[in-house]
Amino acid sequence: MRQYIYESETTLPGWDKKRTKRPTSFMMLTKFMGMMIIKIGTKRVLSKALSSDQKEYLLALKLNFDIFVNVDKT
């Protein structure tokens, strides 16, 4: 994440709705707490849409937004 911040010259959401150039893994964990994935048959859906903070962290980690619902079965 910090490499992404350095290369893109940006910040990520931090504590108290402030932006940070030094995100921690715990900070990221708190952004994803409470996320629920519902599985109905073979289909997976999020119980609610990703927040803008969650999307920013996934972008920094170079992960697709659908990573939680499209599971590779190989």
Q: What is the pLDDT of residues 32-74, one digit of tens each?
A: 999 999 999 989 999 999 999 999 999 999 999 999 998 776 5
Q: Where are the domains of the chain?
A: 2-60
Over residues 2-22, the mean pLDDT reads 93
The pLDDT of residue 74 is 53
The residues near 4 (Cβ < 8 Å, ≥ 6 apart) are 10, 59, 60, 61, 62
The pLDDT of residue 64 is 92
Query: How much is the pTM?
Result: 0.85
